[in-house]
Amino acid sequence: MKIIRTESDYNKALIEIEKLIDLDPEIGTENANSLEVLSLLIEKYENEYYPLKMPTPIEAIKFRMEQENLKNSDLVKYIGSKSKVSEILNGKRTLSLSMIRNLHKGLGIPVDVLIADSTRSLPEEVSDIDWKQYPINQMLKEKWINFKGSLQDAKNNAEEIIRNFYKNASLKLDSEILLRQNIRIDSIADEYALKAWQVQVVTQANKVTVSRKYNNNLLDEDFFKDLRKLSAFKKGPLLAQEFLLNIGIKLVIVKHLKKTYLDGAAFMNNGTPIIGLTLRYDRIDSFWFTLFHELAHIKLHFINEENKYFFDDLKSKSNDKKEEEADNFARNNLINKDSWNEFYDNFLTKKNIIDFANKLKISPAIVAGRVQHERNNYRIFRNLIQTESIRDMFKI
């Protein structure tokens, strides 16, 4: 008895094993031992040269339908609709994770057969997430996610898409996002849109590397003086992004989604502070005030990490102590309180504003925006505020 190496050896072994099986030898006898060894040799050869082919998901479903005498309509409760059943069986649609779970539970088809990919596994079902509530349409439009197929197909595969979305950001699904949050929004915000926006911010932030590890002591008086001086430059916002990166803070610009009402946000990710700005208002003064507001959260409110996430609609009225602190901090670090009180009156001209801004070495837009806010009149001095498109600067 020897190792089977050729087709001829294999055929001879099959003849020999049939003879031994016909003898029905007793266990422990020489023939029984020969039968066992020969069976192993044949199995080894077949595994190497005639491996069993895993059935495709469609073949497995059709086989189970034939076994159970099921019609297409019997699969609706597992797949969702008659049209979806037809598309699945005709190979025009792939199985979603929910379909795989339903077919496995309902018809007992092995998960690995339905997945048809040895590198994948079926993730645990998360009962408290409605995958279709994520703003898939907007996420596709902004190219935050890639999907080949119709919008309806994308929605049907929402779980897979969103899981990959989090994975690409190196985030666990819903890992602490919105769990310990401070949301300053008057309207009812879409929680799923907020989550999606923040995940995209993290995705963008992961593409850049900080020059040094962040230390809260770096945010001292000199830091804010140097930062606000950058506003006087035409490309000040881009310079600010680089300036922050050099002290370990990532500034990311990501457009807001509908029903988020966001101007900005601040949060920690793996020990690195991240500021996300939406540029919802394409105004120079808005950029700088929002940036200083979020920096205030980092400096004042991240010490004990009691609140790890701040989401801000700065047009909303807030009685929250932390938000009031951040507003005052931003206002006074952009323009010193004493300087402002000495400057401000009801008869200011464009020249007054420009001269005052030059004296402070900051953008006139910051001064003009403060005047608009004080007077609650956003029509005055507009030509000092919208001199540059911040969105174009950041290419969004």
Over range 271-293, report the average pLDDT. 96
Do 114 and 57 form a contact (C-beta atoms < 8 A)?
Answer: yes
Whether the pLDDT of residue 279 is over 70: the answer is yes
How far from chain centre, in Å, is Cα 1? Answer: 61
Could you give the percent of the chain with pLDDT greater than 90? 64
pLDDT of residue 185: 78
Smallest Cα–Cα separation from 54: which of 93, 96, 101, 109? 109
CATH number of 57-115: 1.10.260.40
Q: Which amino acid is at 143?
A: K
The three-state secondary structure class of 22 is helix
Report DSSP state, residue 233. Answer: S
Do 228 and 191 form a contact (C-beta atoms < 8 A)?
Answer: no
Whether the pLDDT of residue 179 is over 70: the answer is no
pLDDT of residue 243: 97
Handedness of CA 93, 97, 100, 105 (dihedral sign): negative
Domain range annotation of the chain: 7-49, 57-115, 131-168, 211-396
Do 141 and 82 form a contact (C-beta atoms < 8 A)?
Answer: no
Q: What does pTM read for this prediction?
A: 0.80
Whether the pLDDT of residue 175 is over 90: the answer is no
DSSP element (H, E) containing 311: strand 309-312
Whether the pLDDT of residue 178 is over 50: the answer is no
Token output for 190: 């879409």
